[in-house]
Structure 1
Amino acid sequence: MDPKKIIELVEAALAADYPRVRKAANAIARVMGDDGQEEGATALRSLLRKKGVPLRASGHMEQLPVDVKSRLPLVEEQEWPVTPIFINEPAHMAIADFVSDAQNLEEFSRNGIASRLAIMLSGPPGTGKSLLAGHIASQLNRPLYVVRLDSLISSLLGDTAKNVRAVFDFIPTKNAVLFLDEIDAVAKFRDDRQELGELKRVVNTVIQGLDSLDDSAVVVAATNHSQLLDPAIWRRFPYQLEIGLPNETVREALWNYFLFGDKDPEGVSKILAVISPNLTGADIERISLAARRRMLLNKNELHLGEVTTAIINARTSEGHTGERRRQGALDNKEMARHLQQHGLNAPQIAKLLGVSRQWSLRLLNEADNG
């Protein structure tokens, strides 16, 4: 363990600087994990995630901006994520470029080529936009402040714009990453005739707030509905990244991590990746964790047939993830036909359905014969 990390933690604690304490402790947890002390690293991260304990004995309580009427905080500081990010290679390169530009801002400024450090993430739900914001904050070693839309958007005319201004007045003092999730809720196209004049004023306030930030401020915004955003908002985000569904390589990594804990000697993850082209990372995580929970509760081996059923039904009206469905919910012949359509052969189908190769061939013959 690097003594400097211990010294940094102690200095931050003695100074009652809670954000520094968390940064230093997270750094120590990462080192512990890299050194194979995963149990200790997990315990330390769990301690850091606990609510209501930050340096209260020392009297340190961070004053967050609040809604005047409800007194609810408008932003909340969130922990850096411990779950790895799984995204396609072009998206990975785009994020790496953004982080690199942020880390070298001073050099760019000296040469007159600095840019606003604001990135817009767009794409369907469950593709990892929120997780990406956390990883950006972690790589930049900055706190992550997330805007709470439930508090920000007030039912009283005029208060929403005031709340937006309060957030942008607060952030410059924190050297943090500001995450504006679901930004379309407060930044819709101003020519939308369905919206009241108040919402149009809110958009103007958001634009003014973004313009008020200096070059060192880092803003990450995310939207599931990019077509709703006002064009002027887009112009405030020189970095723009559309995150789509994971490709087959990424899906394989997701199944391997969430379903097998990175221990898949038989290569089942690769087969599951082939049959799940329409799933998001969040879908794969939910299906995987549901299967592992049942495995632990029932004290038996992982049931790949149930996982396969959940994948097949994940986008049907019968259930988004199929978490509680059983293999019997689909006929084996139907499943075999579906898997064959994805290019799987008899041995691969047998592995997923938990049947013999001969039985798999019989199912395929029955499916072919209707």
Structure 2
Amino acid sequence: MHFQLLPLANSIADVDGFFCDGVHAGLKKDGPDIGFIYSDTLCDISAIFTSNRFQAAPIKHFQKHAITQTNFILTNSKNANAMTGKAGIEDIEEILSSLDFPMQNPLMSSTGVIGVRLTKEKIIDAAKKFHLQAKNADNFAHSIMTTDTFPKSVGFEVHLEDGKSFRIAGVAKGAGMIDPALATMLCFIVTDAAIPKEDMDKLLRKNAETSFNAISVDGDRSTNDSVFLLANGKSEIYEKESFDFALQQIMHRLALLIVKDGEGAKKLVAFKITGAKSKEEAKKAAKALTNSLLVKTALFGEDPNWGRIASTIGASGVTCDEEKLRIAFEDVLVYDRGEILFNKEQEEKAHKVMQKEEFAITCDLGVGEENFTAYGCDLGYEYVKINAEYRT
């Protein structure tokens, strides 16, 4: 099947039947801090959530009502509504029941400080200002931002070889508490494709493995991580191969934007593990590298300290042998199956690679055929400052 992806200028706002906006409720000092996504027809919904055992109230609310279809999502930033017990779920139900919109099975998604009850009155009063025919994806993207420095959105119109087309787009937030098992992130993907619910579930989980489950900023994991896929079927068009590819592109690009926006981060680094004994071991080694504080600080200092990389791989517990291992910074090979190539000339070349904003470090374990790529960033002074002052 041949198809073409054409970018959408306004991401989720350009998908047929979907509307969105964000307004200021006073949760932040300024700018949009609550938002909505609305479909004028009922949508099938698929979702994946954090593996943190202390899941936030919005996730528990979703699970309590076993939501499989909806047409309205209310979002807020600055307050995670996590560790708030049954009261947190009741707050969501009170807020949603106070809104006089044509909602079916509405749900809520939150991000921000843990352990604080929602300011219901502010949210309700501001939400009453929503215009459900609004199409302002930028306002919505800003409304879910916390420590993010820029909004994150991607969208495509997918043209099939028979001339038919459908649209798919996503908006995400995330910059800190990012661990490769989802992240401190929210992601909302909408489509007018007529995709079967079974495919929604399978493709969302499949593509999460190489996107949101393959990134790390700081190795921490939130209580609120959520990825939603909503399909209203309005195009009446669906082709599995092209949809899968478009979904993969959206999730992968949003995941990389999250890493690139890592709190205080200056480097986006791909850790490519090849020649692993199994896919699971390839993932384990790659994710260990994205989480290593010593590796992250070396990235920040632009120091090609390949010994930290080798040590991290060895400590991860995967099958490896120093006589079979190869380590390269882009195309600069510094260690080759027991031979140290790290002379002054190679060090300078590797250092120049690390001065780039984006680059790859490849580690060939030489013990098998499997591979996996995880994505991480550097860790510097700004990260400490942001998180030390998070609630102030």
- Relative to the length of structure 2, the TM-score reads 0.27
Pick the structure with more strand per residue.
Answer: 2
- Relative to the length of structure 1, the TM-score reads 0.28
Pick the structure with more helix per residue.
Answer: 1
